[in-house]
Amino acid sequence: MEQQGLGTPLLESYKKKSWTRILWLLFAVLIFTIPGLVVYINSDPWRQGNVNTNNHKYRKEREVKDVVESEHGVVAADDGRCSEIGASTLRQGGHAVDAAVATALCLGVVNPMSSGIGGGGFMIVRSSSSQTAQAFDLRETAPLAATKDMYAKNPKAKYLGALSMGVPGEIAGLHEAWLKYGKLAWRTLCQPAIALARDGFVVTPYFASAIKKSGDMILTDLGLRQVLAPNGELLQKGDTCYNIELACTLEAIAEYGPQAFYNGTVGENFVKDVREAGGILTMEDLRSYKVEVMDAMAVDVMSYTILGMPPPSSGTVGLSLVNDSPHLNCVLVNLLPTACRLAADKESCFCLHSKKSVTNILNGYGTHDTVMNILDSYGTPDAVKGPLGLHRLIEALKHMFAIRMNLGDPDFINEASYVSDMLSPSFAKELREKIFDNTTFPSEYYMSRWSQLKDHGTSHFCIVDAERNAVSMTTTVNYAFGAKVLSPSTGIVLNNEMDDFSTPTEKSKDKLPPAPSNYIEPNKRPLSSMTPLIILKDDQLAGVIGGSGGMKIVPAVIQVFLNYYFLGMDPLAAVQHPRVYHELIPNVVLYENWTLIDGDHIELSLGKRLFLMERGHELKGEAAGAICQLVVQTIHTPNNTVEENKIGTRKQVFQGMLTAVSDPRKGPDVDDNEVSLSSFVEDLKPENENKSNNEPEEEEGKTRKFWSKAYSGGGGENLRNNNKAGELGMKMKKKGKSKTHWVCSNCGESFGQWWGGCRHCDAIGTLKVFTEDEDFASKLTGFGSEKGAGSWFHQNRGDMLPQRLTDVNKGINQMTWRIPLDGLFGSEVGRVLGGGLVPGSLVLVGGDPGVGKSTFLLQLAAMIAEGSNSGRAGPAIYVSGEESVEQIGNRADRMRIGTEDLFLYSNTDIEDILEKIQVLSPRVLIIDSIQTVYMKGVTGSPGGLVQVKECTSSLLRFAKKTNIPVLLIGHVTKTGDIAGPRVLEHIVDVVLYMEGEKYSAHRFLRSVKNRFGSTDEEGLQAVSNPSDIFLSEQHSDSAVLAGHAVAVIIDGSRSFLLEIQALCLSDSSVARQFNGVQHNRAEMIIAAIFVNVVSGVKLQETAGDLAIAAAVCSSFLDVPIPNDVAFIGEIGLAGELRPVPRMEKRVNALVKLGYKKCVVPQSTEKSLATLDLDGMMVLGCKNLKEHRSTLPAFFNRKPSS
């Protein structure tokens, strides 16, 4: 047959001969898809029929908790807490991708056995506005050091231990999708998961079961043990689980994006843990990871368009084969996989122009005439119903698994030869002719060339928002708890995705060789069973579907799809209907036969089992199955047709009833006091539309009722029972007052009042009113308004566990760790900084206006950016809240600065600044000035006390977590102090002041505070006689110097002596100056006199009053006081001398130091005379006058004047 060119498709009119033929086509397409081909069928009589909601015996009253209907958006995940978090994100005006980010991060926290940021997955996003769909491949990749023979000596290491880990892709993939579609701030989407990890969450029965099954491995790993067995015993159902390290990791990712993990301190800690556990991961592996973004694979069959993932996913198995039609001869080349598009032999890649494909397995018997003859004989679309349809499905699954292992990562495997072989007419005929309705065959019959890989685990969720944007995402760490290793410093569970590769030395039970197309290569992605799908009808969203459960995913998703769209089951019945599974080898049909945790029993009917056994199938009941999530949109046809808009180029988005179903197979039981926390779907609607006018409000004090398996907030029939409120890791608070928010649907910003338009993004008509209750759930996922949390940067409990001193890298404290500053300018700045700029330090530079602070830091930034200090150039960022980039550029020209690595940015939003700069990973960040920047959600205007404190604190955390030094310019007040709270100088590491006369050519850079300054202190040691420190030099010249006196004070249990100094001047000016004594008390004792306490000690008691008076009198009378005399006593307002507490202890202190005379209040003289004073004389005085008059006589001297 003459082949048509690949560039222009030839589509001729095509008249369907039979419904049966098309039904078989869909069935085959779902099972035998080979990536690379997109089919458009010109004519299609199929329409979705009415759904019978009462045709399934498994529908019970208690099952309605798994279903919800709404017109305003739904979230279906396998954990209720995560469904609520995703729905709350949509309530804030978020896109379906925003909800996907929040949901995925939540699942990684509460279900770490299935997924997490240490793993990867697949995501399909369909935009209703552009009517396009993109596939995001965030699958793990093999490390750069990986080889196909790396497990030859230790096969067990392929699935157990750190060596089995692939490079994680979940964070990179989520962020990539968010960059394209997200509306809400990235940090907002991370906060719910952070709160769950930090504050704890309740262990569900499903989680508890997983912990128990892996208990031995958990107890042997330090990281898993500290999270899942913190007290040496495994967590049980109902316990609270904490993962503080993961919370800190997510906080870093929230603040600094994926760079924190792929090129930051989090990644460095993670790599360190992995390598210490025996892995080969490096920072270069993380830095080189790339998310694959491509158009989703699509096929049009029987009025539906099915969107799936290209390889290495199995989502295209059954989705992208050419229809069996003599009139469809070629395919658009731009829709083929990369490997096929770039193949030199494009035409040999697809010999499908000869009209037949693998779909012939269920579409016909080798030729068009045979297809029509056999399928026409059925006469009804019921061909796949009943036991016979089940038999055909099982046989098709066997063939699918036989050819599945020919696939692989299209970036590494040239699939042209495989695709050419599988799509040839002879191949299709050979396969189809081997399927018989009356028998099955041994495994060898199905021509499997390669051993099967059995992947595991996963978690799936489906999301549809109010605008009918849709997300289908499957994420995994492979086995339960992945590699059975948790990074102690980051809280991340390591995946073991390397087990999904084939290896040459691998031995399998099926005795078949491993598949070369799936061999390990650096940066290669392994084959996967994950199958996220989005289904369209007439270019409108019809459904979202996917599942978790390893190799069982593909059969389960196919059966759910057929059950709902072509077998007439309602959504719940389509998901809950008993399923069959087959893995080709062993040649056993696994059928579901198990009682769920909530009491429902699922079992394949006896009649079907007998039918299959009669045809030679070996059956085995299994208490396990894949977990599917399903969202469908009812589109009534033909009356409910979609009209084109006035432009005529794009169809309007149809918004029908959404029905979401979460598979009960993963649901926990429901106690009287605890509502199910799993298998949850969430309906949402703006709160002001949720209640009718006559609907009563909840009674004060009652908790909100939304922790059931299915929840409807209104806007649609609620199909669940009203269960009691449950828990989100802890009990909810009582319902409080309501708050009204206006949320911008464009950017997600929240306002306390209506402004007509968004004041953040300037969009008009985008504000929607929401009412929020002040309960725990709303605060957990809450709004970003000013009434929310005080700071965007949430404090954490430390980035890692407490470390032994011997384990700390002390090299960072040495001078060589600093960033050197060379040259005349740099060396002088480095000298002030104590030897250089310390990475991760926060430096505050103050000075008068016009002194040159901005010029100084701009010059410093240019020097670091040019690399003149280290020989290596790197980006430096100068952010100004006072000048435009043009103004800064003019100043740079004046200073002859022209480096390309110096980046200028004019902005005052600290959150936006840190978000924008993270992609550059700068060597230094300069903020000019701290008084001009602000944070959303923090009260006050820029420069206010609260704003300055919060902004400085956030920059401090940024510096510490990224090791990027940050330099701040601080304005000063009229008094010369830096404007802002006094704590500002305590928060920063270094405070520099630039001083100089306005018109002087010189400036003085002074270090006021420096945590990293040069120092030679080695520690502290005890001082046996502290009195020697405080007595100055009075022993040497006290005989000739007046104005000295000794006091005895007590501090705690210690007593020691202090020297009091006084100076009296006979000057006409009155002046008083006090150092070390309470000002008011000194004022009471003296007049125009200077008083000082030696060594800067602060007198906090009145026992020094008499010594102060003695020093003053000594100075005034010019009578020196001998160095063996001390004074103890308090002076009253009338001049009387009063005793002070613990006189005996004070006097004993004098005796020990060899004092010979002591002046005390007269009332204590007698009692002190009875003590063993070792010859010391005690003199008592009644009042200050007597004390003064006795001084000359006491010292046997006369005053000089």
Give the position of tokens 């070792």.
1174
**Cα separation of 1066 and 204, whole Å?**
85
Q: Are 400 and 554 in contact (CB under 8 A)?
A: yes
CA distances 1182 to 923, 1161, 1170, 1185, Å, are: 72, 6, 19, 8
Say if residue 529 carries a ligand binding annotation.
Answer: yes
**Cα separation of 287 and 587, whole Å?**
44
Say if residue 29 carries a ligand binding annotation.
Answer: no
Q: Are 907 and 882 in contact (CB under 8 A)?
A: no
Say if residue 43 carries a ligand binding annotation.
Answer: no
Q: Are 826 and 979 in contact (CB under 8 A)?
A: no
Give the position of tokens 């040495």.
814
Name the token pair of 407. 């696939």
Helices (H) and strands (E) in the chain, counts: 37, 40
**Cα separation of 602 and 592, whole Å?**
6
Whether omega for the bond prior to residue 312 falls within 30 degrees of 0, making it cis, is: yes
Cβ neighbors of 1075 (< 8 A, separation 6 or more) are: 1091, 1092, 1093, 1096
Kind and range of the H or E element at 621?
strand 619-622
Kindly report the backbone phi and psi dihedral angles of residue 235, in degrees, each rounded to the nearest multiple of 5, phi listed first.
-65, 145
Say if residue 476 carries a ligand binding annotation.
Answer: yes
Q: Are 953 and 905 in contact (CB under 8 A)?
A: no
Say if residue 953 carries a ligand binding annotation.
Answer: no
Of 687, 696, 679, the closest CA to residue 715 belongs to: 687
Rg (CA), the chain: 40
**Cα separation of 571 and 876, whole Å?**
56
Measured over the CA atoms of residue 51, residue 602, residue 606 and residue 619, the dihedral's sign is positive
Kind and range of the H or E element at 660?
strand 658-662
Q: Are 1003 and 1011 in contact (CB under 8 A)?
A: no
Q: Are 332 and 10 in contact (CB under 8 A)?
A: no
**Cα separation of 987 and 841, whole Å?**
11
Of 781, 751, 737, 745, the closest CA to residue 763 belongs to: 745
Reduced to 3 states (helix: H, G, I; strand: E, B; else coil), residue 703 is coil
Of 128, 153, 197, the closest CA to residue 465 belongs to: 128
Residue from 458, 490, 766, 932 carrying the catalytic annotation: 458
**How many other C-beta atoms are found inside a 10 Å radius of the C-beta of residue 796?**
18
Say if residue 500 carries a ligand binding annotation.
Answer: yes
Strand 924-928 and strand 966-970: the pairing is parallel
Strand 1130-1131 and strand 1137-1138: the pairing is antiparallel
**How many other C-beta atoms are found inside a 10 Å radius of the C-beta of residue 278?**
15
* Exposure string over 805-814, b if 16+ CB within 10 A, otherwise e: eeeeeeeeee
Reduced to 3 states (helix: H, G, I; strand: E, B; else coil), residue 272 is helix
Say if residue 89 carries a ligand binding annotation.
Answer: no
The question of whether 458 is a catalytic residue gets the answer yes
Q: Are 848 and 997 in contact (CB under 8 A)?
A: no
Say if residue 359 carries a ligand binding annotation.
Answer: no
Please state the separation of Cα 838 from the chain's center in Å: 28
Provide the H-helix boundaries in 663-719.
687-690
Annotated binding residues? 139, 476-478, 500, 528-529, 550
The annotation places the binding site for L-glutamate at: 139, 476-478, 500, 528-529, 550
Active site (catalytic) residues: 458
